Amino acid sequence: MNFRSWLARAAAGRSGMDRLNIFIYVISAVLLIVSALVPGRLGSLFGAACMVGLILGIFRFSSRNTVKRSAENQAYLRMTAKLRKSLGVRRTRFEQRKEYRFFKCPSCRNVMRVPRGKGRISVTCRRCGERFIRNS
């Protein structure tokens, strides 16, 4: 029996990695760095919190109770949905910043995308019909 087949058998039926586990490991890494930078008892407190996070991550990763781990992950995804969507929108706007300008409608605050380099243009809001002039 080689290592690969042993590892496959050991991982069978386990919950594995999910978004919540990734979050736990990232927080544990941050706590580890902070514990190295902060001296004294406070640093050791951060180190202990890091160890608790790592143990929790290993427990979740190796758990055979996939229904419960999946429910925990879904709860985490529901709690962070608004933040993840907001960060996704900001990322998209950042990636498109060279081709487009983004404006908010003065009346309804709807965000509109306008091509760059068109000069002074009249923008009409699709939601409320408000017209305003901006430089693209």
Q: What is the pLDDT of residue 17?
A: 85
> Could you tell me how far CA 126 lies from the centroid of its own chain?
30
The answer on pLDDT for 1 being more than 70 is: no
Q: What is the pLDDT of residue 88?
A: 94
pLDDT tens-digit map of 79-128 = 999 999 999 999 999 999 999 999 999 889 999 999 998 899 998 989 88
CB atoms within 10 A of CB 24: 22
Mean pLDDT over all residues of the chain?
A: 91
Mean pLDDT, to the nearest integer, of 12-27?
89
Mean pLDDT, to the nearest integer, of 53-76?
92
Give me the residue spans of the domains in the chain: 3-79, 93-135
